[in-house]
Amino acid sequence: MNFGKKYISLQLAIIIFVVTVVVVALSVTGILLANTTAHNIEMHQAEKAMGIAQTVSEVPIVKQSLVGDAQTEDVQAFIRKIRQDTNMLFIVVMDMDRKRKTHPNFKLIGKEFVGGDELPVLKGKRYTSIAEGTLGPSLRAFHPVYNDQGKQIGAVSVGISLKNVKEAVNKSNYIIYAGMGVGIVIGVVGAVLLARKINRILFGLQPYKIANLLEERNAMLESVREGIIAVNPEYDIVVANAEAIRIFQKAGLPPDPIGRKIDEYLPVSRLIRILQSNKAEYDQESDINGLPILVNRVPVTVNGQVVGAISTFRDKSELKTLVEQLTGIRTYAEALRAQTHEFMNILHVITGMLHIKEYDGLENYLRKQTKLFQAETGSVSNIVKDPVMAGFLLSKGSYARENQVKLSFSANKPLPESADPNISHHLITIIGNLIDNAFDAVRKNVEKRVVLNIEYDDSHCTITIKDNGKGIREDIRGTIFQKAKSTKGPDKGFGLYNVRQSVEALGGIITFDSDETGTSFMVRFPYKEEGG
Q: Let me know whether 291 and 364 are in one domain.
A: no
- pLDDT at residue 467 in the model: 94
Domain boundary among 168, 198, 216: 168
Rounded to the nearest integer, the mean pLDDT of the chain is: 82
Same domain (yes/no): 388, 259: no
Helices (DSSP H) in 2-122: which residue ranges?
Answer: 10-57, 60-67, 72-86
Check residue 487 and give its pLDDT.
Answer: 53
pLDDT tops 50 at residue 504: yes
DSSP 261: B
Edge-to-edge strands, sheet with 518-526: 406-411, 449-456, 460-467, 518-526, 509-515
Q: Distance between CA atoms of 248 and 257, rounded to whole angstroms?
A: 9
Q: Please check the confidence at residue 4 and state whether its pLDDT lies above 80.
A: no
Nearest CA-CA partner of 168 in 86, 45, 291? 45
Question: Does position 331 have pLDDT exceeding 60, yes or no?
Answer: no
Q: Please report, for the domain that includes residue 362, its CATH number.
A: 3.30.565.10
DSSP state string for 145-175: EE-TTS-EEEEEEEEEEHHHHHHHHHHHHHH
pLDDT for position 183 = 84
CATH code where residue 95 lies: 3.30.450.20
The answer as to whether 213 is a domain residue is no
Residues 121 and 231 in one domain: no
In this structure, the answer to whether residues 33 and 150 fall within a common structural domain is: yes
Q: Residue 331: inside a domain, yes or no?
A: no
3-state secondary structure of 286: strand
> Both 149 and 266 in a single domain?
no
Both 245 and 394 in one domain: the answer is no
- DSSP-derived pairing of the beta strands 518-526 and 509-515: antiparallel
Q: Which amino acid is at 458?
A: D
**Final residue in a domain of this structure, among 315, 331, 366:** 315
Range(s) of the domain holding residue 265? 226-315
* Same domain flag for 76 and 146: yes
Label residue 1 by pLDDT band (50, 70, 90). Answer: very low
**Is residue 498 pLDDT above 60, yes or no?**
yes
pLDDT value of position 494:
66
**Are 392 and 430 in contact, with CB atoms under 8 Å apart?**
no
pLDDT, tens digit, 9 for 90 and up, residues 450-468: 999 999 988 899 999 999 9
Q: Is residue 322 part of a domain?
A: no
- In the chain, the number of structural domains is 3
- Amino acid at residue number 123: K
Beta bridge partner(s), residue 287:
292
User: Residue 284 domain-assigned?
Assistant: yes
Q: What is the pLDDT of residues 201-249, one digit of tens each?
A: 776 767 767 777 777 767 676 767 788 899 999 999 998 888 888 888 8
Kindly tell me if the per-residue pLDDT of 437 is higher than 60: yes
pLDDT at 27: 84
Whether residues 516 and 443 share a domain: the answer is yes
**Mean per-residue pLDDT, 394-411:** 83
- pTM reported for the whole predicted model: 0.41
| pLDDT tens column, 250-272 | 888 888 888 999 988 988 888 98
